[in-house]
């Protein structure tokens, strides 16, 4: 077991695994100022990557992150690509921009970080429950559409001794809800919708997506990981009230829970993402259930991940459902 843990900071990981950063191309969704996506991108900048592709709703929200990156290393190519992950057409447009950009020859690491949390019930323009749509379906489609550029140079060689990675940021909130295969969008029973149960469904979906994706890219010198970044004060919870926070405690940790896990700083909050993205030693773990990290450590501890989120049959069932919802099949 590595020495990394709760207090590990992102910059520590970038410094230790600088050879996994320098000259490489990273894509990050949701790197808005003040969030862990931005902190992830800024930390990576200290390792001198070749290119950082930043996807978000508007340039205004991403520009501060770009400015900070360039103040660290002005030679880094930064690209902003607009995307609304709750809209499948917007996701397809963003993917098309990237695939058709001749200056992006390949992608080394995809970090699916963006999320919405505990929003009132609504459906996306495609008829998908909003949290499931933005947190899982948008990333499912984006990742699959970009796979040609990720797998383009996926065989490690002496000159390119790296494996590609797809990092899917989940949450301990996976404990709050499994996949409602009978009614994933709450259209049959909208009265059953609660913000945190739906958030839990989306975060469970992210882990199951990771499992199913690994089944498909095995042998292609690529690996996917999911993770819980921890409890961090960001704008993600801007819509929550004190009553909703208590509902979240109950949904995630059960009746009687009174306290959330200890808060992390932004630097601590991006660390688990960066270990998942950079540490080659993670490849040494041959456990088929080794897909999820908490506090920078691979874990199957039911305090942090519900066993249903590791169920391989559910992972395959979700992949099929996801293909149906986006209207496209993917084979790698």
Scanning the chain, the segments in alpha helix (DSSP H) are 10-16, 36-45, 59-72, 88-99, 130-131, 138-151, 195-217, 242-253, 266-269, 271-278, 312-326
Which of the following is catalytic: 86, 130, 202, 203?
Answer: 203
Which residue has 């009978």 as its token pair? Answer: 182
Which of the following is catalytic: 170, 224, 314, 322?
Answer: 170
DSSP state of 133: I
Sequence-separated (6 or more) residues with CB below 8 Å from residue 43: 10, 11, 13, 14, 267, 270, 274
d(CA 220, CA 156) in angstroms, rounded, equals: 10
| First and final C-alpha spacing in the chain | 32
Which two structure tokens, joined as six digits, stand for 77?
């190519």
Residue 24 near residue 52, CB atoms below 8 Å: no
Sequence-separated (6 or more) residues with CB below 8 Å from residue 239: 117, 118, 119, 120
Three-class secondary structure of residue 309 per DSSP: helix
Q: In what order do the strands lie in the sheet with 25-29?
A: 77-82, 51-56, 25-29, 109-112, 164-169, 222-228, 292-294, 297-298
Which of the following is catalytic: 43, 86, 199, 224?
Answer: 199
199 is catalytic: yes
170 is catalytic: yes
d(CA 249, CA 98) in angstroms, rounded, equals: 39
Residues noted as catalytic: 170, 199, 203
């Amino acid at each position: 077991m590595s020495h990394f843990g709760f207090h590990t900071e992102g910059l520590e990981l970038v410094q230790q695994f600088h050879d996994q950063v320098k000259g490489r191309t990273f894509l990050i969704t949701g790197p808005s100022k003040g969030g862990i996506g931005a902190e992830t991108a800024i930390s990576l900048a200290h390792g001198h990557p070749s290119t950082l592709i930043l996807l978000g709703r508007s340039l205004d929200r991403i520009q501060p992150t770009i400015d900070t990156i360039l103040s660290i290393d002005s030679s880094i190519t930064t690209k902003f690509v607009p995307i609304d992950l709750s809209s499948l057409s917007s996701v397809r447009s963003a993917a098309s921009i990237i695939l058709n950009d001749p200056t992006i020859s390949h992608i080394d690491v995809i970090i699916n970080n963006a999320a919405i949390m505990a929003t009132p019930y609504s459906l996306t323009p495609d008829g998908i429950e909003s949290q499931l749509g933005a947190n899982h379906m948008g990333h499912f489609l984006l990742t699959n559409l970009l796979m040609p550029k990720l797998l383009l140079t996926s065989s490690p060689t002496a000159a390119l001794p790296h494996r590609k990675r797809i990092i899917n940021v989940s949450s301990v909130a996976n404990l709050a809800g499994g996949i409602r295969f009978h009614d994933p969008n709450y259209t049959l029973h909208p009265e059953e919708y609660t913000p945190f149960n739906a958030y839990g469904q989306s975060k469970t979906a992210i882990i199951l997506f990771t499992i199913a994706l690994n089944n498909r890219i095995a042998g292609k010198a690529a690996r996917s990981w999911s993770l819980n970044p921890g409890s961090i004060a960001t704008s993600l919870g801007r819509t929550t009230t004190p009553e909703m926070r208590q509902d979240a405690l109950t949904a995630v940790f059960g009746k009687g829970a009174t306290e959330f896990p200890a808060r992390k700083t932004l630097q601590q909050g991006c660390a688990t993402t960066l270990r998942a993205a950079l540490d080659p030693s993670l490849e040494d773990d041959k456990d088929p259930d080794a897909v999820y990290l908490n506090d920078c450590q691979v874990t199957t501890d039911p305090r942090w991940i519900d066993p249903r989120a590791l169920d391989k049959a559910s992972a395959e069932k979700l992949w099929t459902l996801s293909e149906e919802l986006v209207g496209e099949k993917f084979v790698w």
